[in-house]
Copies of this chain bind each other. A is one copy, B any other.
Amino acid sequence: MASRSVLRVLGVDPGLTRCGVGVVDVAADRSATLVHVGVIRSDAHAPIEQRLALIAAGIRSVIDTHRPHVVAVERVFAQHNTHSVMGTAQASGVALLIAGESGLPAATHTPTEIKAAITGYGAADKRQVQQMVARILRLDAVPQPADAADALAIALCHAWRGEGTTSPGAAPRTASMTPAQRAWAGAERAARR
Protein backbone atom coordinates (compact mmCIF):
# COMPACT_ATOMS: atom_id res chain seq x y z
CA MET A 1 0.00 0.00 0.00
CA ALA A 2 1.14 3.54 -0.74
CA SER A 3 2.44 5.71 2.08
CA ARG A 4 -0.34 7.51 3.94
CA SER A 5 1.17 10.89 2.97
CA VAL A 6 -0.30 10.30 -0.47
CA LEU A 7 -3.76 9.13 -1.41
CA ARG A 8 -3.69 6.19 -3.83
CA VAL A 9 -6.88 5.98 -5.86
CA LEU A 10 -8.06 3.27 -8.24
CA GLY A 11 -10.35 4.77 -10.87
CA VAL A 12 -12.63 2.49 -12.87
CA ASP A 13 -14.35 3.40 -16.15
CA PRO A 14 -16.87 0.55 -16.14
CA GLY A 15 -17.61 -1.37 -19.32
CA LEU A 16 -18.10 -4.94 -20.45
CA THR A 17 -15.99 -4.87 -23.61
CA ARG A 18 -13.34 -2.49 -22.25
CA CYS A 19 -13.17 -1.66 -18.55
CA GLY A 20 -10.59 1.07 -17.88
CA VAL A 21 -8.53 0.89 -14.68
CA GLY A 22 -6.13 3.61 -13.54
CA VAL A 23 -4.21 4.05 -10.30
CA VAL A 24 -2.74 7.41 -9.24
CA ASP A 25 -0.93 8.73 -6.18
CA VAL A 26 -2.06 12.20 -5.18
CA ALA A 27 0.03 14.14 -2.64
CA ALA A 28 -1.21 16.66 -0.09
CA ASP A 29 -0.19 19.48 -2.47
CA ARG A 30 -2.46 17.76 -5.05
CA SER A 31 0.39 16.82 -7.37
CA ALA A 32 -0.35 13.45 -8.97
CA THR A 33 1.74 10.52 -10.20
CA LEU A 34 0.78 7.63 -12.45
CA VAL A 35 1.03 4.22 -10.75
CA HIS A 36 -0.79 1.94 -13.19
CA VAL A 37 -3.08 2.20 -16.16
CA GLY A 38 -4.74 -0.49 -18.24
CA VAL A 39 -7.85 -1.93 -19.73
CA ILE A 40 -9.61 -5.20 -18.89
CA ARG A 41 -11.17 -6.61 -22.04
CA SER A 42 -13.84 -9.26 -22.40
CA ASP A 43 -15.08 -11.00 -25.50
CA ALA A 44 -18.50 -9.72 -26.61
CA HIS A 45 -19.43 -13.27 -27.65
CA ALA A 46 -18.68 -14.81 -24.25
CA PRO A 47 -21.52 -15.48 -21.77
CA ILE A 48 -22.24 -12.47 -19.55
CA GLU A 49 -21.41 -14.35 -16.32
CA GLN A 50 -17.93 -15.20 -17.66
CA ARG A 51 -17.36 -11.64 -18.88
CA LEU A 52 -18.20 -10.24 -15.45
CA ALA A 53 -15.97 -12.84 -13.75
CA LEU A 54 -13.09 -11.76 -15.99
CA ILE A 55 -13.64 -8.10 -15.10
CA ALA A 56 -13.83 -8.97 -11.40
CA ALA A 57 -10.56 -10.94 -11.61
CA GLY A 58 -8.88 -8.03 -13.41
CA ILE A 59 -9.95 -5.46 -10.82
CA ARG A 60 -8.96 -7.77 -7.94
CA SER A 61 -5.54 -8.20 -9.51
CA VAL A 62 -5.01 -4.42 -9.74
CA ILE A 63 -6.08 -4.02 -6.09
CA ASP A 64 -3.80 -6.86 -4.94
CA THR A 65 -0.82 -5.46 -6.82
CA HIS A 66 -1.21 -1.74 -6.18
CA ARG A 67 -3.15 -1.58 -2.89
CA PRO A 68 -5.20 1.58 -3.41
CA HIS A 69 -6.83 3.36 -0.44
CA VAL A 70 -10.12 3.92 -2.25
CA VAL A 71 -11.96 2.93 -5.44
CA ALA A 72 -13.73 5.56 -7.58
CA VAL A 73 -16.18 4.46 -10.28
CA GLU A 74 -17.86 6.55 -12.97
CA ARG A 75 -21.56 6.81 -12.29
CA VAL A 76 -23.74 5.28 -14.99
CA PHE A 77 -26.91 6.95 -16.24
CA ALA A 78 -29.70 5.29 -18.17
CA GLN A 79 -30.26 7.95 -20.80
CA HIS A 80 -31.27 5.37 -23.36
CA ASN A 81 -32.75 1.95 -22.86
CA THR A 82 -29.82 0.25 -24.53
CA HIS A 83 -28.29 -3.11 -23.82
CA SER A 84 -24.87 -1.45 -23.40
CA VAL A 85 -26.05 0.86 -20.60
CA MET A 86 -27.23 -2.16 -18.63
CA GLY A 87 -23.92 -3.93 -19.26
CA THR A 88 -22.06 -0.84 -18.07
CA ALA A 89 -24.21 -0.71 -14.93
CA GLN A 90 -23.52 -4.40 -14.28
CA ALA A 91 -19.77 -3.83 -14.67
CA SER A 92 -19.97 -0.86 -12.28
CA GLY A 93 -21.76 -3.07 -9.77
CA VAL A 94 -18.94 -5.59 -10.02
CA ALA A 95 -16.30 -2.87 -9.50
CA LEU A 96 -18.11 -1.56 -6.41
CA LEU A 97 -18.55 -5.13 -5.11
CA ILE A 98 -14.81 -5.88 -5.41
CA ALA A 99 -14.07 -2.66 -3.49
CA GLY A 100 -16.48 -3.73 -0.73
CA GLU A 101 -15.10 -7.28 -0.60
CA SER A 102 -11.55 -5.86 -0.43
CA GLY A 103 -12.53 -3.71 2.56
CA LEU A 104 -12.02 -0.50 0.57
CA PRO A 105 -14.35 2.49 0.52
CA ALA A 106 -15.86 3.29 -2.87
CA ALA A 107 -17.40 6.36 -4.44
CA THR A 108 -19.09 7.24 -7.69
CA HIS A 109 -18.67 10.44 -9.69
CA THR A 110 -20.78 11.73 -12.55
CA PRO A 111 -19.24 12.50 -15.96
CA THR A 112 -19.91 16.22 -15.33
CA GLU A 113 -18.09 16.11 -11.99
CA ILE A 114 -15.13 14.36 -13.61
CA LYS A 115 -14.90 16.86 -16.47
CA ALA A 116 -15.23 19.81 -14.08
CA ALA A 117 -12.58 18.43 -11.72
CA ILE A 118 -10.05 17.82 -14.48
CA THR A 119 -10.60 20.79 -16.81
CA GLY A 120 -12.57 23.24 -14.65
CA TYR A 121 -15.42 22.96 -17.18
CA GLY A 122 -18.26 20.42 -16.74
CA ALA A 123 -19.12 20.39 -20.45
CA ALA A 124 -15.55 19.80 -21.65
CA ASP A 125 -15.20 17.26 -24.44
CA LYS A 126 -13.66 13.86 -23.75
CA ARG A 127 -10.50 14.64 -25.74
CA GLN A 128 -9.86 17.77 -23.68
CA VAL A 129 -10.20 15.75 -20.47
CA GLN A 130 -7.81 13.08 -21.75
CA GLN A 131 -5.18 15.64 -22.76
CA MET A 132 -5.41 17.26 -19.33
CA VAL A 133 -4.92 13.84 -17.71
CA ALA A 134 -1.72 13.36 -19.71
CA ARG A 135 -0.46 16.84 -18.70
CA ILE A 136 -1.36 16.44 -15.02
CA LEU A 137 0.48 13.10 -14.85
CA ARG A 138 3.39 14.39 -17.00
CA LEU A 139 2.88 11.71 -19.65
CA ASP A 140 4.27 12.06 -23.17
CA ALA A 141 0.96 11.01 -24.72
CA VAL A 142 -2.65 10.30 -23.81
CA PRO A 143 -2.94 6.71 -22.53
CA GLN A 144 -4.70 4.45 -25.04
CA PRO A 145 -7.41 3.29 -25.41
CA ALA A 146 -9.61 6.16 -24.24
CA ASP A 147 -11.10 4.03 -21.45
CA ALA A 148 -7.67 3.87 -19.80
CA ALA A 149 -7.32 7.68 -19.81
CA ASP A 150 -10.90 8.02 -18.56
CA ALA A 151 -10.14 5.73 -15.61
CA LEU A 152 -7.23 8.02 -14.64
CA ALA A 153 -9.54 11.05 -14.91
CA ILE A 154 -11.98 9.37 -12.50
CA ALA A 155 -9.16 8.61 -10.04
CA LEU A 156 -7.83 12.21 -10.20
CA CYS A 157 -11.36 13.58 -9.86
CA HIS A 158 -11.88 11.56 -6.70
CA ALA A 159 -8.60 12.61 -5.12
CA TRP A 160 -9.31 16.30 -5.80
CA ARG A 161 -13.01 16.37 -5.05
CA GLY A 162 -13.00 14.12 -2.03
CA GLU A 163 -15.94 11.97 -1.12
CA GLY A 164 -17.93 11.80 -4.33
CA THR A 165 -21.67 11.92 -4.95
CA THR A 166 -22.52 9.24 -2.44
CA SER A 167 -21.67 11.66 0.37
CA PRO A 168 -23.59 14.85 -0.36
CA GLY A 169 -22.67 16.24 3.08
CA ALA A 170 -18.94 16.49 2.27
CA ALA A 171 -17.43 19.86 3.08
CA PRO A 172 -17.00 22.19 0.09
CA ARG A 173 -13.51 23.26 -0.94
CA THR A 174 -12.69 26.87 -0.23
CA ALA A 175 -9.32 27.42 -1.92
CA SER A 176 -9.29 30.24 -4.44
CA MET A 177 -7.96 28.09 -7.30
CA THR A 178 -9.98 25.22 -8.72
CA PRO A 179 -8.24 21.83 -8.61
CA ALA A 180 -7.89 22.03 -12.38
CA GLN A 181 -6.25 25.45 -12.18
CA ARG A 182 -3.92 24.20 -9.49
CA ALA A 183 -3.07 21.14 -11.57
CA TRP A 184 -2.41 23.26 -14.63
CA ALA A 185 -0.07 25.42 -12.61
CA GLY A 186 1.69 22.35 -11.28
CA ALA A 187 1.97 20.77 -14.70
CA GLU A 188 3.38 23.98 -16.15
CA ARG A 189 5.93 24.23 -13.34
CA ALA A 190 6.93 20.61 -13.97
CA ALA A 191 7.28 21.25 -17.71
CA ARG A 192 9.68 24.17 -17.06
CA ARG A 193 11.99 22.12 -14.85
Q: Which residues of A contact B (CB under 8 A)?
A: 47-53, 56, 71, 76-82, 85-86, 89-94, 96-97, 99-101, 104-106, 108, 166
Q: List 6 A-B contacts (CB under 8 A).
A: A47-B100, A47-B105, A51-B100, A52-B100, A78-B85, A89-B93
- Evaluate contact between A104 and B166: CB separation under 8 angstroms: no
| Chain B, residue nearest A48 (CB) | B96
- Evaluate contact between B48 and A101: CB separation under 8 angstroms: no
In whole angstroms, what is the CA distance A89 to B47 when docked? 17
For A56, what are the chain B residues with a Cβ–Cβ distance below 8 Å? Answer: 97, 101
- Evaluate contact between A53 and B97: CB separation under 8 angstroms: yes
In whole angstroms, what is the CA distance A105 to B50 when docked? 9
For A48, what are the chain B residues with a Cβ–Cβ distance below 8 Å? Answer: 96, 100, 106, 108, 166
In whole angstroms, what is the CA distance A108 to B56 when docked? 20
- Evaluate contact between B81 and A77: CB separation under 8 angstroms: yes
What 20 new A-B contacts, CB under 8 Å, besides A48-B96, A48-B108, A50-B100?
Answer: A48-B106, A48-B166, A49-B71, A49-B96, A49-B99, A51-B100, A52-B97, A53-B100, A53-B101, A56-B97, A56-B101, A76-B86, A77-B81, A78-B80, A78-B86, A86-B89, A89-B90, A90-B90, A90-B92, A93-B94
